[in-house]
Amino acid sequence: MSQSELLEIKNLVPELKNIVGSDYVLDDKADLLVYEYDGSIDRGNPVVIVLPQSATEISSVLKLARSHSIPVVARGAGTGLSGGAIAEHGGIVISMARMNKILEVNADDRYAIVEPGVVNLDLSTHVGPQGLYYAPDPSSQRACTIGGNIAENSGGPHCLAYGVTTNHVLGMEVVLADGSVTWFGENERDGIGYDLRGITIGSEGTLAIVTKISVRLLRSPEHVKTMLMAFETIEDASAAVTGIIGAGMVPAALEMMDHFCIKAAEEAVGAGYPEGAGAVLLVELDGLFESVEEESDEIEAICREFGPLEIRVADDAMEREKLWSGRKGVLGALGRLAPNYYLVDGTIPRTKLVDVLKQINELSERSGYPIANLLHAGDGNLHPSILFDERKPGDVENILAIGAEILRICVESGGVLSGEHGIGLEKQDQMPLMFSDEDMATMSLLKIAFETEDLLNPGKVFPTGAGCGDISQARAIARVGPGAYI
């Protein structure tokens, strides 16, 4: 961002303060620094942070930004893992932290209307007493926001049985780049016509800013059972996963953690994972009492074939929570093993688990960087986490290269670039691994149907154009020509 551009944005501070209130515009150097990161390794320097409290305020901010051609990035809790909330091109960051109200709960029709800054777990806690919950449960659910979940189409352990964010969002109010406020999907309009709701979910803030969300609520299951199974090697555990899924079973969740993760999680929360194990599986079943019991017997029998070191069953809520606490906290807990981790997100066909994990292990040995593996094993979603120290020269470059290599392995095994964290800054340059020029040109058409100026979260999703043959977003727009959609 050039000096004159910087100055231009700084000059807008009084106007922004008029819109959202003077306490909620930050532009001190120290304050900006606190908004330069997310939960991963990318960084960017916003010029000003605003914290609006309504769609109207956001609309005014977007209009102002557009009239000065200033990029705008929406931010939830900054727990993302692919750089989605990073102000790569400077500009304005709109923090949703103050738009955190649950506006309506309709228990009979089983939906709730919430603001984007509502914390994922807070929603389930709020509707819990009515026997309801919100199904998508990213491991960061204690901190991450529903708005952020929409941007990244987030998943979570229980998405194996219940699906990801897009399967649980009925409709939403959005502000478009020109400041107009509209509604996509059900509730206020019916769901007929183009599925603009579906297009927006997972668009990583590049199409619109979501300001109100109608989410589906599910009835809490009658019975829940969580099983912990420890195996001597990660190969045994992987084989057990293949066995369970192969037998046609779909548990609510089926998670795997390797020995690094077991160690970190044990130190962090003392979840009671057996420390000598090479890998553990966490299997959760829910539903009617009888079916859960029947399925758990069957799963136990399947796992016994692969020589488990230990099988432990948690029946009551407290025991279950303890087993889950290790899994949900494991990522942050890796901070106990190294100052930084780089969490890679990719998916593979479940039948390739053993082979891919072997390749990742070889990569780790070759490069000298430890790689901790945690997996949503049931749906083949890998999260290899490369441990490093960002203060060591060369470390960041090296681990990024390793991450890219892991993604190449995933795609070559028939998988995809991201299971649930989004593309963001992190994987934009790997997009050509999966998508042809024509594919990306088509996506660009969608983007320019929403805006041609490329001010909403610019520099994300599409390749940067650094690589040979890549189509950058800007170039794609240039090729089609602004206004071509009219």
Partner 1 sequence: MVEAQEILKLPWLNESELYKCVHCGFCLQACPTYLTTGLETESPRGRIALMKAVNEGRLEISDQVMRHWDLCIQCRACEDVCPSGVPYGNLIESTMDQIRDHRKIGFIPRLAYEISLRHLIPNQRNLAIVVSMMNLYVKSGLQKVVRKTKILKLISKRFERLEKMTPAVNGKFFRAEGQLYTADVEGTETIQMLSGCVMPLTQGNQMRAAVRTLNKANKDVEVPLNQGCCGAINSHVGDLGKAKELARANIEAFSKGSGTEPIIVNSAGCGARMREYGHLLSDDPDYASKAVDFSKRVVDINEYLDQAKLQPGETSIPKTVTYQDSCHLANVQKVKDAPRNLIKSIDGIDFCELKGSNICCGAGGTYMITEPEMSEAVLAEKIRNLVDSGADIIATANPGCFMQLDNGIKAAGINVEVKYVTDLLDETYTKSK
- Applying CB under 8 A, the residues found at the interface with partner 1 are 24, 26, 28-31, 33-39, 51, 77-79, 95, 97-98, 100, 117, 119, 122, 140, 142-144, 267-269, 329-336, 339-341, 389, 391-393
Closest separation in Å from C-beta 289 to partner 1: 28
Closest separation in Å from C-beta 400 to partner 1: 17
Q: What are phi and psi of 75, to 5 degrees?
A: -135, 135
Residue closer to partner 1 by CB (options 78, 346) is 78
Kindly list the distances between the CA atom of residue 135 and the CA atoms of 49, 103, 162, 163, 422, in Å, as whole numbers in the listed order.
31, 19, 7, 8, 19
Closest separation in Å from C-beta 340 to partner 1: 6
Residue closer to partner 1 by CB (options 79, 472) is 79
Closest separation in Å from C-beta 59 to partner 1: 20
Closest separation in Å from C-beta 294 to partner 1: 35
Q: How far apart are CA 429 and CA 431, in angstroms?
A: 5
Residue closer to partner 1 by CB (options 295, 426) is 426
Residue closer to partner 1 by CB (options 115, 204) is 115
Half-sphere exposure of 158 (CA within 13 A, CB side): 23
Closest separation in Å from C-beta 98 to partner 1: 4
Closest separation in Å from C-beta 110 to partner 1: 24
Closest separation in Å from C-beta 386 to partner 1: 13
Q: Which residue has the tokens 């700084």?
A: 10
CB 341 within 8 A of CB 271: no
Q: How far apart are CA 228 and CA 410, in angstroms?
A: 27
Residue closer to partner 1 by CB (options 335, 481) is 335
Residue closer to partner 1 by CB (options 95, 238) is 95
Residue closer to partner 1 by CB (options 59, 79) is 79
Residue closer to partner 1 by CB (options 95, 203) is 95
Closest CA to 402 of 422, 387, 381, 420: 387
Residue closer to partner 1 by CB (options 101, 358) is 101
Closest CA to 281 of 314, 238, 247: 238
Residue closer to partner 1 by CB (options 37, 183) is 37
Residue closer to partner 1 by CB (options 194, 391) is 391
The token pair that represents 457 in the structure block: 């979260």
Closest separation in Å from C-beta 55 to partner 1: 17
Closest separation in Å from C-beta 218 to partner 1: 23
Closest separation in Å from C-beta 312 to partner 1: 22
Closest CA to 382 of 427, 437, 421, 332: 421
Closest separation in Å from C-beta 144 to partner 1: 8
Residue closer to partner 1 by CB (options 215, 330) is 330
